[in-house]
Each structure stands twice: as structure tokens, then as C-alpha cells.
Amino acid sequence: MTGGAGFIGSHFVEGLLAGRYPAFAEARITVLDKLTYAGNRRNLSPHPRLNLAVGDILDRPVVDGLMAAADLVVHLAAETHVDRSIAGSVEFSRTNVVGTHVLLESAARAGIRFVHVSTDEVYGSIAHGSWDEKQPLLPNSPYSASKAGADLMARAYARTHGLDVVVTRCSNNYGPRQHPEKLIPRFVLNLLRGQTVPLYGDGLNVREWLHVEDHCRALALVAERGRGGQTYNIGGGFEISNRELTQMLLDAVGADADRVASVPDRPGHDARYSLDSSKITDELGFRPRIPFAQGLAATVAWYREHPDWFTADS
Ligand code: NAD
């Protein structure tokens, strides 16, 4: 598993080691993670079936060495923050496109099944309706463009080299241990510290949310039974504007609307994301289980109980 010390990867490791996914109940896991600012050793509790290899997915000898001992790759490592990709995006191409390419090449040589974890953001923005997996990729940020580049390389390795690769495109995740650069943890931590929260533009941008544990359960299903060469959308089915979400967070901590500070909109800010997830429901029986209000309340509680999880400046 690449990127296993990050937000989603560490939840997937936790679920695997806790036996939540029967097909992988005995799996031994090697996490390859560079431990960038986004990776955190604390996210991974020591376990006899877990090995952390600190390294870069662009390091071919390291990747080839680990691949030789693997039966399955789940690839989550990436530069993931849209705002950082606006400030400077070469690292996004390096890790997300070239890093994925290195992994695909190594997996193809070794004949290893590969799950490539992508994002709904590769489709761009949609005013009405929802994207199915056949929609064109029209990314708008350097982050989503780099993820789309990786998706297309995965497709090419399936078509050209016959690699058994499955691509997943998930909606926004939330839950414990997400880096405070992302909207929900940023807002919760600011509110708990008595600070204001920075809401982009008019706050009417709509996102579809999925609890990270539901995402990980979907990834396990795809890893077990997803068809090679196919793409699966993984949506939470719960859409809400950033303004409405902000109100829910204010309510959760008992704060007033004067704690919201409007800030200039993000350049190229996508208006709405919405996935049609009927393929993964029909083929693999996946449905989200954690209702948003319940998952959000538990997430706020986690941040309240773990004020020191991230560094002091986060
Ligand atoms: P994250 O930023 O929390 O974690 C990324 C991890 O990758 C970190 O542990 C980091 O150290 C590691 N990493 C970065 N560059 C690396 C490199 N060159 N070599 C090795 N490791 C490296 O990200 P996340 O939110 O957990 O997202 C995981 C994956 O899921 C990403 O591919 C992302 O695009 C995708 N995704 C995320 C969301 C979301 O809402 N968070 C939604 C859909 C898809």
C-alpha cells in the first residue's frame, strides 16, 4: 500500500488489521510512504502484520524490491491538496503522474494486480445530474489534472501491457486524522480554538461527502472483486454546499455565524461534484453505511479529544 501513513491509507490499514474486510483477514501489509508533511507515523499503530517502508514511489529500486514480495498493490500516495497545487504544482506532476507511472511499470513487469485510487475531481465540475464512469476527464486544478494524468496512464497499462489494474474515483472523504489543511479539520480546529473559519467566495460550492471508513470498505471490495481494466465511482450520495456544511460545524461546537470570515474564492473553484455510483452498487453491492450527520459528529468529537495529533502550527 502506498501512502498508508496518510489519512485514507491509515484507515485502510486499520480496517485490514482489525479484520473488517474478510477477504483480507490475514493480509500482511507493507506501507511505502515518503512521510511528507501529510504523512504521519502516529497514524499507524505497530502490528506484527504491518511493515512501514519509508521511501519515495519514484525510487525504482525500492519499488521493484517491494513489488517482488507483493500480491496486490493499493496505490494511495499522492500530493492531495488543491490549494497547494495552485501555489506550485510541479511536485504534483512528479508524485501523482510520474510516481504512479513508476509503480504501474513495476507492477506490469511483476504481473501484480493494482488498485489505483483516484478522485471525482478528474471529471471537473457538473451543474446538474451526476457523472458515470464513461464521462470525459475535464480536470480544472493542477491537482485534479495530475490525478487525471495518472488515471490515463493506468488505462494505458491495462490496454497496452494487460496489467490487472482497477481505478476508483471517490468523492470527498471526511473522518478522524485528516490533515488540518483540508476543509472539515481546518474549520473544526479553528472553531475549537476560538478562531474564525475562512469560507471561500459565496460558499455555494457543492461537494459530495463519504466517511473514510465507507471509502475503505469500498476499496476492499474493489481490491477483491473489481474487474481489471475497469473504473468504479465511489460516492457518498450526500451533497451539501460548503456554506451549509459550515453551519453544521458551527452548530456542532455551539459557535455563532460571526465566526465565519468570507475570503476570496479559490481560482478555478469547481462549483459542484456529483457521482453516479450505481456501477459499484450493482456489481459489488457497495452502499455507504455511515449517515453524514452521525459521522460528522463523531469526527468533531475526535478532533476535540485529540488536539495534539497534528503539530502546533497545524
Ligand atoms: P493524504 O495527503 O492524507 O496522504 C498522502 C500520503 O502519501 C501521505 O502519507 C504522504 O506521506 C504520502 N506520499 C506523498 N508523496 C509520496 C511519495 N512521492 N512517495 C511515497 N509516499 C508519498 O491523502 P489522502 O487524503 O489520504 O488521499 C489518499 C488518496 O486518495 C490520494 O491519491 C487522493 O488523491 C485520493 N482521494 C482522496 C480524497 C479525499 O477526500 N481525501 C477523495 C478522493 C480520492
- Is residue 94 classed exposed, middle or buried when 0-12, 13-18 and 19+ CB atoms within 10 A define those classes? middle
Supply the residues annotated as catalytic.
120-121, 143
Q: What is the rounded average pLDDT of the residues 93-97?
A: 98
Q: In angstroms, what is the span from residue 243 Cα to ligand 1's centroid?
A: 26
Distance of CA 103 to the CA centre of its chain: 18
Q: In angstroms, what is the span from residue 258 Cα to ligand 1's centroid?
A: 33
What confidence tens digit (pLDDT) does each residue in 144-156 have? 999 999 999 999 9
Q: What is the rounded average pLDDT of the residues 11-22?
A: 98
Answer yes or no: is the C-beta of 170 below 6 A from any ligand 1 atom: yes
CB 206 within 8 A of CB 272: yes
CB 38 within 8 A of CB 80: yes
Percent residues over pLDDT 90 in the chain: 97
Q: In angstroms, what is the span from residue 6 Cα to ligand 1's centroid?
A: 6
Residue 314 confidence class, pLDDT cut points 50, 70, 90 = very low
Distance of CA 272 to the CA centre of its chain: 18
Residue 308 confidence class, pLDDT cut points 50, 70, 90 = confident
Answer yes or no: is the C-beta of 56 below 6 A from any ligand 1 atom: yes
Answer yes or no: is the C-beta of 9 below 6 A from any ligand 1 atom: yes
Ligand 1, atom 36: closest residue by C-alpha: 119
Task: Spell out a b/e string for 65-86, using b for 16 or more CB atoms within 10 Å of the CB, else e.
Answer: ebbeebebbbbbbbbbbbebbe
Quote the CA–CA distance of 292 and 167 in Å, as a whole number: 25
Least confident of 3-7, 20-24, 304-308: 304-308
Quote the CA–CA distance of 175 and 154 in Å, as a whole number: 28
Ligand 1, atom 19: closest residue by C-alpha: 56
- The set of cell numbers assigned to 270 is 469547481
Quote the CA–CA distance of 243 and 289 in Å, as a whole number: 24
pLDDT surpassing 70 at residue 313 = no
Answer yes or no: is the C-beta of 33 below 6 A from any ligand 1 atom: yes
What confidence tens digit (pLDDT) does each residue in 96-122 have? 999 999 999 999 999 999 999 999 999
pLDDT surpassing 50 at residue 247 = yes
Answer yes or no: is the C-beta of 35 below 6 A from any ligand 1 atom: yes
Task: Count Cα neighbours of 297 within 13 Å in the Cβ-side half-sphere.
Answer: 6
Helical (H) or strand (E) element with 160: helix 142-161
Q: In angstroms, what is the span from residue 7 Cα to ligand 1's centroid?
A: 7
